[in-house]
Structure 1
Amino acid sequence: MLRLFRGVKQYLPAIARRGYCEANTEFTEGEKKIISILKSKFPSAKVEAQDISGGCGAMYTVFVEAEEFRGQRTLKQHRMVNEALKEEIRDMHGLRITTGVPRGKG
């Protein structure tokens, strides 16, 4: 079973290249929390998160593909994600964000 970032290799090539998808099948508590928050903010979005700090929760990379981003510049999309995660970001060292709009509409 593939887990994180399946189908988004074009957005996160380093993760895909190193085989992270096949190696891990469990989410950390931090990953679960971030996914839950982003899914509540963007209910129809494809949301994926990965702790890239070795499991300590200091740095994450997230991917959000949401219809709410349609017509918005990348900077605005990232600000929307930052706003959704503002409480969690306070305890992080860094956050790498990739956003996108679902294909096939409008």
Structure 2
Amino acid sequence: MISTTDIESLIAAALPGAKVQVQDPNRDGQHFNAIVIAEQFSGLTTIKQHRLVNDALKAYLDSGAIHALQLKTYSPEQWQNFSVQIS
């Protein structure tokens, strides 16, 4: 079973400097939610941003260790605009 800490570490290793928060809302070790803020996402579509994260977790996604991963990805600029809107 993979932990939220393991997932955070794998994403951070693939996207140096990224801010990563992962939750296991069902507490089942298979269904996760993640927010990733990374400079590498600048100028990329959401699909391309998600692919970068999924590539970091490919072995766990392919093996079924991670059954579901809900992603919210942002460049730092997107995150700043998002957080201003919800304030």
Residues 56-87 of structure 1: CA deviation (Å, up to 9, x unaligned):
21100011100000010000000111111111
Q: CA RMSD in A?
A: 1.5
Other-structure match for 2:73: 99
Q: 2:13 aligns with which of 36, 40, 50?
A: 40
Structure 2: runs of 5 or more not aligned: 81-87
Shift of 1:101: 0.6
Query: Distance between the aligned counterparts of 2:24 and 2:54, measured in 1?
Result: 16
Find the partner of 1:51 among 20, 24, 29: 24
Superposition misfits of 4+ residues, deviation over 2 angstroms: none
Q: Percent identity?
A: 37
Separation of aligned partners in 1, 2:4 and 2:67: 15
Of the three residues 23, 35, 39, the one matched with 1:67 is: 39
Instruction: Give the drift of 1:91.
Output: 1.4
Q: Letter of the 2:7 partner, please give it.
A: I
TM-score by length of 2: 0.79
Aligned residue type for 2:50: H
Flag the structure with more relative contact order, 1 or 2, with Cα contacts below 8 A and sequence separation at least 6: 2
Residue 16 of structure 1 aligns with which residue?
none
Q: 5+ unaligned residues in a row in structure 1: which ranges? A: 1-28
In the alignment, the residues of structure 2 paired with residue 80 and residue 56 of structure 1 have an alpha-carbon distance, to the nearest angstrom, of 24
Higher helix share: 2
